[in-house]
Amino acid sequence: MAEQKGTSSYSDDSIRTLEGVEHIRRRPGMYIGRLGNGDNPGDGIYVLLKEIVDNCVDEFAMGFGKQVLITLQDNEVTVRDFGRGIPLDSVVKATSQLNTGAKFDDKDFKKSVGMNGVGTKAVNALSSHFYVESFRDGQSSWARYERGRLQESGKNPTANEKNGTLVRFTPDSDMFGKFNYNMDYVETMVKNYSYLKKGLALVLNGTSYKSENGLLDLVNENMAESEKAIYPPIHLEDTDIEIVLTHGNAYGENIASFVNGQNTRDGGTHLAAFREAIAKTLKEFFKKNYAPEDCRQGVVGAISIQIQEPNFEGQTKTKLGSTYMWEKFLLDANGNPVKNEDGSNAVDRGPTIRSFVNDFVSRHLNNYLHMHTDIVPLIEEKIKASQAEREEISGIQKKTREKNKRANIYNKKLRDCRYHFNDKLAADKQEEKEKSSIFITEGDSASGTITKVRNANNQAVFSLRGKPINCYKESRKRVAENEELNLLISALGVENDLDDLRYNNIIVATDADDDGMHIRMLVLTFFMKYYPDLIRRGHVHILQTPLFRVRNKKGTRYCYSPDEKEEAINELKTGVEITRFKGLGEISPNEFVDFIGENMRLDLVKLSDEESIADIMEFYMGDNTIDRQNFIRKNLRSEEELEDVNI
């Protein structure tokens, strides 16, 4: 049969095998989750740093080296530990060959974070320059790479250095673009390592971080003065588990979670078990059928567990997927797999993570409460107050929703995505869930524009009518009676539990004018006051839309700042036409499709554990203080400044 016209040839020459480094550079998302420019704590440049530091922490966990030196200067990262060092003849292999490492055999690294022999190789492949040197017993072995390609290597038989490993790398701008390390994110990462590995000193750019009390230090240091705990934090630990627990006066839950020293900011099986265990233990202690959400309202705490060969969801390891404390194939005396009667490989499984955490919390927290009777009435008072408020608010919300349903308002407010109704899309739940987004817009014009060009499979649109109420100044009852916010809560699916959130990304999309900025602040105030965990878990974003369009016969550039506008003018040079966009509705659907697709620019709304929500809301949404007036004067750009064109 003759080859059809216009089709490419498919032959043996079409079949290619990508070597490790090339595959990492072509498919970086498979190894580090996302690229990014450093604006988001989940961006790849932080994953690269974490992969190297993880190796140092694993050495400490095995009993080698008590200090890690970390230096960041001009986006170049240097990490030096004082562990055993990579075996000298394996330095090149361990840093360049995929699936090569010591962590496949748990006798050397029993409970490490990195288990797949990929981490350091990914750092190497995605760095413009990568240098590694291992020091062992007065000798060293080194290698230098560029974009994962070995340039030179060698040995020094007389290295006068303490044992350990030195890694120096610069993330590749060809992969990450114009990136910068946010030192706040790096400092938080380093602090978490210190809390989780008591006695380990991590020195970041000359500042040492070391914890003697583990997670208790984390909770105590992160409790803001205005959100003080209602009783001293409970600190309990045993082999392979450590927890801290108290209640504060803020809404929601603020529980940090870790596995083998890894900050699992998206939670997982261990966090779900901890949340369940808190409610179950308190209900049994008080012998009353309190609702779980009332037992956990205002909880501040942390959990850290150690398990063998953890299974994380995604390469970035931010959510634990393991069911058991350990799970491995049984081997006979000759090292061959033991078979079950049906021919499958026999597996040795430990207790489930759920039962392990539940048993620990139930036993130790119950004992603690019996021994510290002074805090018991404080906890029950907190639970009862939450119960009373929840029941009142639930009744109000129900009436409001019934009223809205009769008026058919709900369907006018939300244009949902197919992901929630299409079984085929839902089959690949993890991927689709990560992509699922809801745009919170203002007015029919912007809502209509986004609705026309969105990906209806996984992008929903919720339209606000005018300005929502200022939640900071209103009672919870008044907020529950508000039609706009009540419908928004229902659309998000978080009436009862944040784990029921229907969209991974909540995107506030308002105009870049005074009214738009005010609406944005009102929406963010609502989330900060009543659903702060949505922000802490990284679900809330602000959509960046272009302020300017610069074009001539050579091309079109969309610019998000005056500086980008000037760059575009200089690039296009003559005959440029400049359009200033003041609202989302001014951007045509044909143009807007580029701004909400795969490469849309999102600003993550950040809220660190140590920041006081009450203080933030008072500053931005409270009375018009001199401090806020001065802040606005210092940071405000006038319309004239934005529209000033220098051609």
Q: Give, in order, the Cα–Cα distances in Å from 62 to each of 55, 111, 166, 204.
A: 11, 9, 18, 22
Averaged confidence pLDDT in the chain: 81
Query: Does 420 have pLDDT greater than 50?
Result: yes
Q: What is the mean pLDDT of residues 553-569?
A: 86
| Residue 79 and residue 86 in contact, taking contact as beta carbons nearer than 8 Å | no
Is beta strand 327-329 parallel, antiparallel or unpaired with respect to 347-349?
antiparallel
Is the pLDDT higher at 483 or at 385?
Answer: 385
Q: Strand 505-509 vs strand 437-442: parallel, antiparallel, or unpaired?
A: parallel
Query: Which of 278-287, 350-359, 574-583 bottoms out in mean pLDDT, i.e. has the lowest?
Result: 574-583
Query: Right CATH number for 215-331+346-385 from 3.30.230.10, 3.40.980.10, 3.30.70.890, 3.40.50.360?
Result: 3.30.230.10
Class of the CATH domain delimited by 407-545+582-611: alpha beta
Phi and psi, residue 201, nearest 5°: -100, 125
What's the CA gap between 153 and 142, in Å, rounded? 6
Higher model confidence: residue 550 or residue 108? 550
Cα(294)–Cα(298) distance, rounded to whole angstroms? Answer: 9
Average pLDDT for 108-128: 68
What's the CA dihedral at 409, 413, 417, 418 to 10 degrees? 20
Residue 280 or 407, more confident: 280
Nearest of 402, 308, 396 to residue 351 by alpha carbon: 308
Token code pair at residue 197:
């590995």
Separation of alpha carbons 168 and 174, rounded Å: 18
d(C-alpha 609, C-alpha 100), whole Å: 37
Encoded tokens for 496: 């009862």
pLDDT, tens digit (0-9, with 9 covering 90-100), for 165-206: 999 999 999 888 889 999 988 998 899 899 988 889 999 999
**Residues 564/572, Cβ–Cβ less than 8 Å:** no
Helices 626-635 and 613-621 sit at what angle, rounded to 10 degrees? 80
User: Residue 381 CB: number of other CB atoms within 10 A?
Assistant: 12
User: Rounded to 10 degrees, what is the CA torsion of 330, 335, 340, 341?
Assistant: -160
Q: Which two tokens stand for residue 157?
A: 């038989």
Exposed, middle or buried, 612 (CB in 10 Å: 0-12/13-18/19+)? Answer: middle
Return the SS3 of 299: strand
Pairing of strands 459-464, 437-442: parallel
Give the pLDDT confidence score for residue 513 in this predicted structure: 72
Rounded CA separation 550/573 (Å): 10
What pLDDT score was predicted for residue 364?
Answer: 95
Q: Is the predicted pLDDT of residue 390 greater than 80, yes or no?
A: yes
How far from each other are the two terminal CA atoms of the chain, in whole angstroms?
A: 61
Q: What is the pLDDT of residue 613?
A: 64
Q: Quick check: 469 pLDDT over 90?
A: no
HEC string for 359-398: HHHHHHHHHHHHHCHHHHHHHHHHHHHHHHHHHHHHHHHH
106: pLDDT strictly greater than 90? no
The third-level CATH classification (topology) of the domain covering 20-209 is Heat Shock Protein 90 (3.30.565)
Length of the chain measured in residues: 647
Q: Over pLDDT 90: what percentage of the chain?
A: 27
**Confidence category of residue 615, pLDDT binned at 50, 70, 90:** low
- 60 contacts: CB under 8 Å, gap ≥ 6: 66, 68, 81, 83, 197, 200
DSSP 520-553: HHHHHHHHHHH-HHHHHTT-EEEE---SEEEEET
Average of per-residue pLDDT across 601-614: 71
Asked whether residue 618 carries a pLDDT value surpassing 70, the answer given is no
Instruction: Examine the pLDDT at 4 and tell me if it is beyond 60.
Output: no
**Where in the chain are the domains?**
20-209, 215-331+346-385, 407-545+582-611
pLDDT in tens, 474-517: 777 787 777 788 888 888 888 777 878 889 899 998 877 777 78
Rg, Å, the chain Cα set: 27
Using DSSP, state whether 402 is helix, strand or coil. Answer: helix
Render pLDDT for 61-99 as a digit per residue (tens, 0 to 9): 888 989 999 999 999 999 999 999 988 888 888 888 775
State the CB neighbour count (10 A cutoff) for residue 537.
17
One-letter amino acid of 78? T
Share of the chain above pLDDT 70, in %: 82
What token pair was written down for 647? 């051609």
Cβ atoms 480, 400 nearer than 8 A: yes
Question: Cβ contacts of residue 198 below 8 Å, gap of 6+?
Answer: 211, 212, 213, 214
Angle between helices 269-286 and 353-371 (to 10 degrees): 40
- Residue whose tokens read 């986004």: 450
Per residue in 425-463, pLDDT tens? 554 555 667 788 999 988 777 778 888 888 888 889 998
| The residue to which tokens 């060969």 are assigned | 309
CA atoms of 404 and 491, how far apart (whole Å) = 13
Q: Determine the Cα–Cα distance for residues 403 and 483; give it in Å rounded to an integer.
A: 9
Q: How far apart are CA 102 and CA 94, in angstroms?
A: 9
Confidence of residue 645 (pLDDT cuts 50, 70, 90): very low
pLDDT of amino acid 628:
60
Q: What is the CA angle 610-616-617, rounded to 5?
A: 135
Out of 404-408, 558-562, 573-577, which region has the weakest mean confidence (pLDDT)? Answer: 404-408
CA-CA distance, 166 to 56, in Å (whole number)?
A: 10
Inter-residue contact 123 to 51 (CB < 8 Å): yes
Quick one: which of 357, 361, 351 has its CA closest to 273?
A: 357
